[in-house]
Amino acid sequence: MRPEAIQLLSSAGTFGPIILVPVILAEDFGESEAVIGLVVGIFAAASFLSSYACGRAADIYGRRVVLLLGLSLSAIVTLLHILTLWMDSLYLFVLVRVLLGFTAGMFPAALLAYVYEAKSKMGKFSSWGAAGWGIGSLGIGMFGTLYNWAFLYCAIILSVSFGIALTLPFPKEKRIHVPKFPIRVIRENAPVYASMIVRHTGANMIWVTYPLFLMSVGANEALVGAVYAVNAFSQFFIMNFLDRFDPPLLVAFGIGASSATFLIFALTSHYWEIIPAQILLAVSWSCLYVGSLRYVMDKSEEKATATGLLAGSMSISGILGPLIGGFTAAAIGFRGTMLAASAMAVVALVVFVYELLRSGEIYRLTRPSRMRR
């Protein structure tokens, strides 16, 4: 259970502050939705660079060093948020967010590759990350406006995760030569990478101002954390049942359900109406993420590199989505942004089906049972 504990705690420590950032930027620094989108996009850009570079490094140099370095640096950088708030410096706050984006992107691919090679079920393992996100969201919500204590809470959680990682057994690892630009890995996983970028760009258009939207329909800081936790804990339950299904089927269903979810978001008028939609969101993301993760790992020998590229695809979306979403929310409002995201998920589904046709794997959408490895 040590890898699961690391997944739980590291997710709680890194995802928890995501709720705080838009609120801090809007209420403490008085910044607009467009600036919030820019800051979140810069964070994702840093994560994109480290996800690929450190995923590749984990294949070349081994999982242990990358995992430990990423966890330890993430704990240290999380503490630096407190210093920026004491100094009331927007520029330092943004710089620390960039640093955390890089360090938080370092270790996930190494951890996932370690678990896959230990023959663990990826859906079940991923569920612990969702549970960690729920714990982080609830914990952050309980602190309210005590932001310094919230960041300290996250740093402690990450430090405990690092301590557990020190005890992991690392047998002699197979080192893999990976070119600096792994064209083959990208080509064989193109259906997932391309559709993930499109769908997740739309999703991130929503998430960049989602806490502010929830507050606009009656939620306070604690309730915002609770709404996020509904999604996270639902994912924890759902992901445990997904290993039996073939990955392309999961991906296609997850994208389609995402479109429906974002449309429902746009129709809500009070925060309590969001809760059922959060459960549907959990279903859609659980299917999409677990399906995507298993798809790229099943097909590629370079497990950490393929996973790092998947995380990089999500980070590209994390760059584009907040940048577009911040300006879109300012121009057409929160609901208009949600409708645009719903349409983008439809486009992502078309992209995925087209790529399966091009690669000759379209038959897998009619095969519900999972591939054996």
pTM, two decimal places: 0.80
Q: Summarize pLDDT for 297-330 with one digit per residue, the tens.
A: 888 878 788 888 888 888 888 888 888 887 888 8
Look at residue 31 in the predicted model and tell me its pLDDT.
81
Long-range pairs for 123-126 at CB < 8 Å and ≥24 separation?
Answer: 123/239, 123/240, 123/241, 123/242, 123/243, 123/286, 123/290, 123/294, 124/239, 124/240, 124/243, 125/3, 125/4, 125/7, 126/7, 126/239, 126/286, 126/289, 126/290, 126/293
CATH architecture of 2-167+183-366: Up-down Bundle (1.20)
Q: Where are the domains of the chain?
A: 2-167+183-366
Say what percent of the chain tops pLDDT 90. Answer: 36
Confidence label for 201 from pLDDT (cuts 50, 70 and 90) = very high
The rounded distance, in Å, linking the Cα atoms of 274 and 39 is 26
Task: Give tens-digit pLDDT for 60-109.
Answer: 888 888 999 999 999 999 999 999 999 988 999 999 999 999 999 899 88
Binned at pLDDT 50, 70 and 90, residue 160 comes out as: very high
Note the pLDDT of residue 233. Answer: 86
* Confidence grade of residue 372 (pLDDT, cut at 50, 70, 90): very low
Element (H, E) at 103: helix 90-104
**Token pair for residue 238?**
């759902």
Rg of the chain (C-alpha set): 19
CA–CA distance, 32 with 37 (Å, rounded to integer): 9
Among candidates 108, 368, 129, 362, which has minimal Cα distance to 250? 368
Q: Name the 3-class secondary structure at 12.
A: helix
